[in-house]
A and B are shown apart, each in its own frame.
Chain A
Amino acid sequence: MWIEKFHYWVFHHTDDSGQLSIDFVVGLSIFMIAFIIVSTMSAGLLVGLQSKTIDYDAVAYRTGVILAEDPGEIDETVGVAYIAPDRYAWDLIYPDYYPAYHEANMMRMGLAMPRYYYDIPSQIVMSHKTEQFFDPSKYERDFYKDKIIFGDYPYNYYITITPLDGGQSKSVGDPVPQKQQTGYIKRVVMVKHPANVTLNVFDTTGLANGEMTVSFNFYNLSSRTPGFMVYPSLERSIINLTNFSTPTTITSVKACSPTCEDTQPTTPTIWIKKPNGEVWRAYQISPLGMALSVENGTLIEVDPGYLSKRYFPNLGPVDKIDVKMVFSDPTLGGEKDFSYVQEVSFNESFHQPNLTAAVLEAWVW
């Protein structure tokens, strides 16, 4: 039906009076529509540039996840030699000792606690990792880009950590531009601090002859839930010596697993920190001809990474490392443990500082 009408309309539509303006309007509209469509689509050509802020935010997010939730990763062996205690311990490779290995083997710098156990809380970071990460003298600016930012585009970054317990905030990177769009992420983390024991140096048994042995029993130390465990091979351990009654000196500090050897001449090693601020390396004290006086409040500090397989290959089957200190006064000494439980009667105590909260922020542009 309608098709005949259509044909009629098409073939008999010859009277053009008053129709021209409508045709013109139709044509103009079609042109305008085409023009508008083309111009709208041409804006799409710039989508790649427009979505840069989206990209920045995604990169910032990824950096935030690596810092807050990832322990980081390193290739821990070179050939058969262990250069790191395990594959999470990127922070325990010492640039002054193995600079080339350090650069080449580190894959990511995460601040989180290593994933040894399935029930480690995800938002706990370790304080010595943050110290090392935010140490301005430690790594080059571009090194951070390779290890936490990633991507082919040369992103700029600014990363900062603000402790909520009133501590000083730290940062790495360039100042954030005020006039430019930047990607941003903010993470809240809990920081785990190193544990310490306070030990009574006076020998109650009278058998020790000035020799004091502090035993790091790895098996006993793993008895707490993982978020609150002491990891002697990964964390700093602090031994606080008290109850010196007369002036005395320390003549040697050795590490035993099971045979006793001098501590490392270079970091990581064991340090003697005196209350007046002096810091001495524990390596071969007596051959230097120095009588190193010790007093109440002298700290013996073990660097993170020292009590590990790299320096004590027997670790694993043996599960125990002793630190042996020799004093000139024979009434001092004894068998002690770096453990969660200490006898209160000897004024001895174990102290694990509380976790503290910190805000971690990253800008990328």
Chain B
Amino acid sequence: MGLIISVSIFLLAIIVNQSMLVGQTTSESVLDFPKAEIQDIRNEVFRYRSAEVDPDPIQADIETLTLYRKSALVDISNTSERLTIHYNNGVTYYHEVIQI
């Protein structure tokens, strides 16, 4: 019993110490913010819009693949006068409305 308690105190102390050491570095904030993801999604939307194909299956591709591989929610709506791109990965929320 004593041994288990000592070992767990020991491990907890290590964990607490490490988490304090990490801190908030600039690189971390750069990595946390999905800048490239958002640019990529925007670019892809403009790409298929200019290709003049049926947008619905492609929007479904982007939404499904992003949810499956990146665990982020994407919702794109595409009408003749308005384009809406919505992105949410649980931490960062991005919403863009473009009037065409």
Taking chain A's interface residues, is the majority helix, strand, or loop, or is none over half, making it mixed? loop
Given contacts A118-B98, A225-B50, contact A58 B27 (CB under 8 A): yes
- Residues of B near A51 (CB, < 8 A) are 25
- Name B14-33 residues within 8 Å CB distance of A: 25-27, 30
- Name B76-100 residues within 8 Å CB distance of A: 98
Q: How many A-B residue pairs have CB under 8 A?
A: 21
Within the assembled complex, what's the spacing in Å between the Cα atoms of A61 and B26? 10
Closest to A59 in B: B26
Closest to B47 in A: A119
- Name A55-69 residues within 8 Å CB distance of B: 55, 57-58, 61
**Does the CB pair A122–B27 fall under 8 Å?**
no
Residue B6 interfacial (CB < 8 Å): no
- Residues of B near A341 (CB, < 8 A) are none
Residue B68 interfacial (CB < 8 Å): no
Closest to A227 in B: B46
Q: Identify B30's interface contact among A61, A118, A121, A225, CB under 8 A.
A: A61
Residue B43 interfacial (CB < 8 Å): yes
- Residues of B near A58 (CB, < 8 A) are 25-27, 30
**Does the CB pair B25–A122 fall under 8 Å?**
no
Given contacts A54-B25, A58-B26, 4 further A-B contacts (CB under 8 A): A51-B25, A54-B27, A57-B27, A118-B98
A-B contact pairs, 21 of them (CB 8 A): A51-B25, A54-B25, A54-B26, A54-B27, A55-B26, A57-B26, A57-B27, A58-B25, A58-B26, A58-B27, A58-B30, A61-B26, A61-B27, A61-B30, A118-B98, A119-B42, A119-B46, A121-B43, A122-B39, A122-B43, A225-B50
The 3 residue pairs across chains A and B that have the minimum distance between CB atoms? A58-B26, A119-B46, A118-B98
